Amino acid sequence: MLAIPSILHVARARHLYDDVGHFRKQHDHGIPRLGGVAIFVSFIITTLLFNIIDKALPISYLLISCIIMFTVGLKDDLSGVNSSTKFLIQFIAAAILVILGGIRITSLYGVFDIYNLPYVPSAIFSTLLIMLVINSFNLIDGIDGLAAMTGIIVNGTFSLLFIQLKQYELAAGCLAAVGAVAGFLRYNVTPAKIFMGDTGALLIGLISAVMAIKYTEISKVTGIEIPHVYAAPALTVAILIGPVFDTLRVFVIRIFNRQSPFEADRNHMHHRMLKLGFSHLQATLCLSALNLTAIGMVLLFRNLSNSLLIALIILIPVIFNWFITFCIRSKERENVALRNLFA
């Protein structure tokens, strides 16, 4: 909150504004994209201040990866970065966390009838998972407040779970991210004064991916008196379902239409909601409520198997997206009919 007014001043003085003319932009005037700088600085300072409790988190490797993401994100916000270069750097940052930091998933708790994972499949799966979550947060950063609200929900939920598991260093890391993003959100709620840009979105995605993996792993060896540890994989999916579902959905549609999965378009769920007449704030609140609904469902039905819970979690955004499709077809055809559900 203290840093962003200065960033706004510098952005105005140096004309560091968003590309208003791009077909995916929702605003008719230039807005700075450097909010991620304030998020990065706040998170790093707070994390280092509170890195005094235990060594559940390999803080040096996390900070190295954060700096790498910050650098490529800032370069992209200022002058652009080739998508292949961005993916290569994301892979390097993820590999540092997985191989050097040991942050990887070693068990699927019986999901797909898979329990313990050997090192190589575990490392490959964890690296791809980190890259998926990073890009998911980057792709949902399309309307005011959505990426920030999602980051707060994700890391806020993980912080509560870590506190219950007495993993206070991990909880402090989550809360550092929540505080940094909350300070930014003060200036990003409609009408937005600043965007987080790739600098912020890539960083939040990286932190969220790390916390997701750490929660899943720590739950595997935690005492059985805490009920939600049995449903750790399903709960992790529920926490991340918003950005991950939207990313996988648009990737599948683009591939089905014989387009590059990385080609930008306006087919994200938040774009479709704007098409129906939702405001940025309304779309953000609806998608945040959808995320919280998935989390609440897992906590309510945590005694079910992880496989069944994950299927139910995926069903929630599928039904919601189907309803949006129905509404869009009905609006375009000026006719509310049952056939709009199917074609």
pLDDT tens by residue, 73-103: 999 998 888 888 999 999 999 999 999 999 9
Nearest CA among 212, 202, 242, 248 for reference residue 68: 202
CA distance 175 to 9: 28
Give residue 26's pLDDT: 54
- Please report, rounded to a whole number, the percentage of residues in the chain having pLDDT higher than 90: 64
DSSP SS3 for 18: coil
Give residue 257's pLDDT: 87
Structure tokens given for 337: 């009919």
CA distance 327 to 325: 5
210 vs 28, residue with greater confidence: 210
Buried b (16+ CB within 10 A) or exposed e, 64-74: bbbebbbebbb
* Whether the predicted pLDDT of 29 surpasses 90: no
pLDDT tens by residue, 123-170: 999 999 999 999 999 999 989 999 999 999 999 999 999 999 888 889
**Helices vs. strands in the chain: H and E counts, helices first:** 12, 0
Place of tokens 């499949």: 121
Distances (CA, A) of 238 to 211, 226, 267, 273, 305: 14, 18, 22, 21, 14
pLDDT tens by residue, 314-326: 999 999 999 999 9
CA distance 201 to 180: 12
Structure tokens given for 198: 């790739």
Using an 8 Å Cβ cutoff, are 143 and 270 in contact? yes
Give residue 21's pLDDT: 46
- The residue type of 283 is A
Give residue 28's pLDDT: 46
CA 15 to chain CA mean position, Å: 29
Q: Which residues pair with 122 in a beta bridge?
A: none
Query: In 100-173, where do the E strands start and end?
Result: none
Using an 8 Å Cβ cutoff, are 140 and 150 in contact? yes
Structure tokens given for 123: 């490392």
CA distance 64 to 48: 13
- Phi, then psi, of 301 in degrees rounded to 5: -115, 35
41 vs 13, residue with greater confidence: 41
- Please report, rounded to a whole number, the percentage of residues in the chain having pLDDT higher than 70: 92
CA distance 273 to 317: 13
Place of tokens 């490959």: 124
Distances (CA, A) of 276 to 149, 151, 155, 243, 318: 21, 25, 30, 20, 18
Structural domain harbouring 95 = 3-341
Give residue 305's pLDDT: 87
CA distance 72 to 135: 13
Number of domains in the chain: 1
